[in-house]
Amino acid sequence: MAIKAGERMPAGTLKTMTKDGPKDVPAQELFKGKKVVLFSVPGAFTPTCDAKHLPGFVQLADQIRAKGVDTIACMAVNDVFVMNAWGKSAGVGDKILMLADGNGEYAKALGLELDARGFGMGTRGQRFAIIVQDGIAKHVNIEAPGQFKVSAAEHVLGQLG
């Protein structure tokens, strides 16, 4: 069952790359007392994700933060090294926190896993964006298969009022 608006974000651990190497990011720490935009892509460097989804959030990061957002985080079922390389390639700098859900456990906890075996990609996460306020999902935007509308940075910015 996919997470719904009004529900608490599940516990879990993601990873990010730091100058000292990979670091665990507990979901509780990510969301506690903060306003966070968490968006997820099926995979780093995949066509829509690389050409539109991540770049949209990079371009609108300042406007999104101006709406009171503390953290903009990009999650994918990829390893921390791939997410780090993708962030560097996309020039995210400190605008976007790149989070690896290497085994897809957090996507599964959200009820948003994606069976991409037909594409040779195994289990991934669906394309979505969630606006989280102090651990509670306020807006849950899950894309229909093959779509890229409700999880786009422009749509999320509009929801932030």
Q: Could you give the residue numbers annotated as active site?
A: 49
The secondary structure element, H or E, covering residue 156 is helix 153-159
Query: How many whole angstroms separate alpha carbon 115 and alpha carbon 95?
Result: 30
CB 106 within 8 A of CB 95: no
CB 137 within 8 A of CB 14: no
CB 54 within 8 A of CB 74: yes
Measured CA distances, 121 to 29, 45, 76, 97, 125 (Å) = 30, 13, 12, 23, 11
SS3 25: strand
